[in-house]
Structure 1
């Protein structure tokens, strides 16, 4: 009886380990936010799961790798789109991008700085499997303005679920801007 229970418990343990390993390899990428580039949506020390997926859309929050280091940001432009920023306004395919997620950061920044919150840039038609990614805190230039377009193979996944700190446990809220810009049905 004891031997049978031991074998059953070992088998259950092995199954759990196998399922978790498969999830980690093919579905989830745990990400720890090390800075405030995406505050207030994802402040420093937040831990999230990035869901590995093939379909990435405008305004998705993603984790990506550049030169061996992990970063987080927001997809502003997808393959085939052009992205331009002039005078703190971002245009995607010549249409103004409404960015409610940066309003608080922008207001605070412009109170103490004379220069633009979003530095000017121009990215004509993004190539196949290339994405333009920006931080919500635009005075931090560790994004496509510094690295250029990010290849799809370097994107680790879409940030979907916060698991730490426990007070922030739950889904990442990111639908407001997508709806406002008409990207929710893409």
Structure 2
């Protein structure tokens, strides 16, 4: 009986403090993540630019987004080109969405915005589906305290199981 109790305790503690499985809801991260994909969050993390995180929005709903700016970064967007600290950044995860935009005859995937600095203890996040994403452009900066965890592993669909990069 002690072994069963100890095992259950270890599993519950691990899930609460180390990792958590979650389901993706919505299309804001397409094509990186589809609706109902299953991922595992690590709750011990160091967040860097372009990591994917889950955070709790002000309305209490959890969102998965890509971190574009960490505290102290200067961020701007001009002609669909992201600049972080004055340096143009490639965003290869947007390639499929850019092709769709071109086919639809839309000019840009992401509207321009002037340079700003991400405040201490906050992050700037964007969805990969820039035309259909509630992200920092709407929600503002994401506080460090609202982050649930960093996405590390995809559990489903089976053809995409593995480490998330």
SS in 2 for 1:124: strand
Structure 1 residue runs of 4+, over 4 Å off?
none
**Gaps (5+ residues) in structure 2?**
none
Distance in structure 2 (CA, Å) of the matches to 1:94 and 1:131: 17
After TM superposition, give the deviation of residue 167 of structure 1 in Å: 3.8
Which of 19, 42, 53 is the aligned partner of 1:28?
Answer: 19
Q: What is the match of residue 179 of structure 1?
A: none
Q: What is the match of residue 52 of structure 2?
A: 61
Question: How many positions carry a matched residue from both structures?
Answer: 164
Q: Is 1:78 paired with 2:61?
A: no
Tell me if structure 2 keeps the 8 A contact 1:31–1:63.
no
Equivalent runs, 1:1-150 vs 2, <5 Å = 10-67=1-58, 68-122=60-114, 124-150=116-142
Q: What is the match of residue 5 of structure 1?
A: none
Distance in structure 2 (CA, Å) of the matches to 1:54 and 1:137: 25
After TM superposition, give the deviation of residue 39 of structure 1 in Å: 2.2
> Of the two, which has the highest radius of gyration?
1
Cα 1:108–1:69 shift into 2, 3 Å:
same
Distance in structure 2 (CA, Å) of the matches to 1:85 and 1:33: 27
**Gaps (5+ residues) in structure 1?**
1-9, 175-186
State the Cα RMSD in Å.
1.5
SS in 2 for 1:96: strand
Higher helix share: 1
TM-score of the superposition, structure 1-length normalised?
0.82
Higher strand share: 2
